[in-house]
Structure 1
Amino acid sequence: MIFVILMSEHHHEHDHSAVGNIKFAFFLNLSFSIIEIIGGLLTNSMAILSDALHDLGDSISLAVSWYLENFSQKEADDDFSYGYARFSLLGALINSIVLILGSFFILSEVVPRLFNPQTVQPKGMLFLSIFGIIINGISVLKLRGGSSLNKEVVSWHLMEDLLGWTAIFIVSIILIFKSVPILDPLLSLLINIYILYNVISKLKRVLAIFLQGVPDDINIENLQQRIVEQSNALAVHHTHVWTLEGEKNFLSTHLIVRDQMKRDDIIELKTRVKKLLAEEGIDHVTVEIEYENEECESEDCRA
Structure 2
Amino acid sequence: MAQDHHNHHHHKQKNIKAAFFLNLTFTIIEIFGGLWTNSMAILSDAVHDLGDSISLGSAWYLERYASKKADEKYSFGYARFSLLSALLNSLILVGGSVLVLVRSIPRIFNPQEVHPEGMLVFAILGILINGAAVLKMKSGTSLNEKAVSWHLLEDVLGWAVILVGSIILLFFDVPVIDPLLSVFITIYVLFNVGKNIKQILHILLQGVPQMYSIVEIEKELKENTEAVSVHHTHLWSLEGEKILLSTHVVVPENIENKDIMKLKEAVRSLLYKKGIEHITIEIEYLEEKTDRCFKEDEDHKE
TM-score (norm 2): 0.92
Q: Shift of residue 56 of structure 1? A: 1.6
**Is 1:181 the equivalent of 2:179?**
no
Q: Is the 8 A contact 2:165 2:178 kept in 1?
A: yes
Q: Shift of residue 57 of structure 1? A: 2.0
Q: Is the 8 A contact 1:61 1:98 kept in 2?
A: no
Alignment-mate amino acid for residue 105 of structure 2: V
**Is 1:275 the equivalent of 2:269?**
yes
CA distance in 2, matches of 1:115, 1:252: 58
2:38 counterpart (30, 44, 56): 44
For structure 1, the residue ranges without an aligned partner over 5 or more in a row are 1-10
**Is 1:61 the equivalent of 2:61?**
no
Runs of 4+ residues deviating >4 angstroms: 11-14, 295-299
CA distance in 1, matches of 2:291, 2:112: 71
CA distance in 2, matches of 1:244, 1:298: 31
Q: Shift of residue 12 of structure 1? A: 7.2
CA distance in 2, matches of 1:22, 1:261: 53
Indicate how the Cα distance of structure 1 residues 196 and 74 shifts in structure 2: closer, same or farther if over 3 A, else same. Answer: same
SS in 1 for 2:255: coil
**Is 1:225 the equivalent of 2:219?**
yes
For structure 2, the residue ranges without an aligned partner over 5 or more in a row are 298-302
Indicate how the Cα distance of structure 1 residues 43 and 230 shifts in structure 2: closer, same or farther if over 3 A, else same. Answer: same
Indicate how the Cα distance of structure 1 residues 297 and 135 shifts in structure 2: closer, same or farther if over 3 A, else same. Answer: farther
Q: Deviations over 1:166-190 (max 9, x none)?
A: 1111111111011221111111111
1:24 counterpart (18, 42, 64): 18
SS in 2 for 1:293: helix
Task: Show the counterpart of 2:151.
Answer: 157
Task: Show the counterpart of 1:289.
Answer: 283
CA distance in 2, matches of 1:241, 1:123: 54
Q: Is the 8 A contact 1:47 1:185 kept in 2?
A: yes
CA distance in 1, matches of 2:186, 2:119: 18
Q: Deviations over 1:178-219 (max 9, x none)?
A: 122111111111111111111111111111111111101110
2:73 counterpart (70, 79, 82): 79
Task: Show the counterpart of 1:216.
Answer: 210
Q: Is the 8 A contact 1:290 1:296 kept in 2?
A: no
CA distance in 2, matches of 1:92, 1:54: 14
CA distance in 2, matches of 1:157, 1:69: 18
Count of matched residue positions in the alignment of Structure 1 and Structure 2 = 292
Task: Show the counterpart of 2:229.
Answer: 235
**Is 1:117 the equivalent of 2:129?**
no
Task: Show the counterpart of 2:245.
Answer: 251
Alignment-mate amino acid for residue 11 of structure 2: S
1:92 counterpart (78, 86, 90): 86
RMSD: 1.9
Alignment-mate amino acid for residue 279 of structure 2: V
Greater RCO, CA 8 A, separation 6+:
1
TM-score (norm 1): 0.92
CA distance in 1, matches of 2:89, 2:15: 16
Q: Is the 8 A contact 1:65 1:95 kept in 2?
A: no
Indicate how the Cα distance of structure 1 residues 296 and 49 shifts in structure 2: closer, same or farther if over 3 A, else same. Answer: farther
Percent identical among aligned pairs is: 54
CA distance in 2, matches of 1:26, 1:246: 22
Q: Shift of residue 105 of structure 1? A: 1.1
SS in 2 for 1:49: helix
Indicate how the Cα distance of structure 1 residues 288 and 12 shifts in structure 2: closer, same or farther if over 3 A, else same. Answer: farther
Q: Deviations over 1:25-55 (max 9, x none)?
A: 2222221111111111111110001111211
CA distance in 1, matches of 2:238, 2:9: 17
Indicate how the Cα distance of structure 1 residues 302 and 214 shifts in structure 2: closer, same or farther if over 3 A, else same. Answer: farther
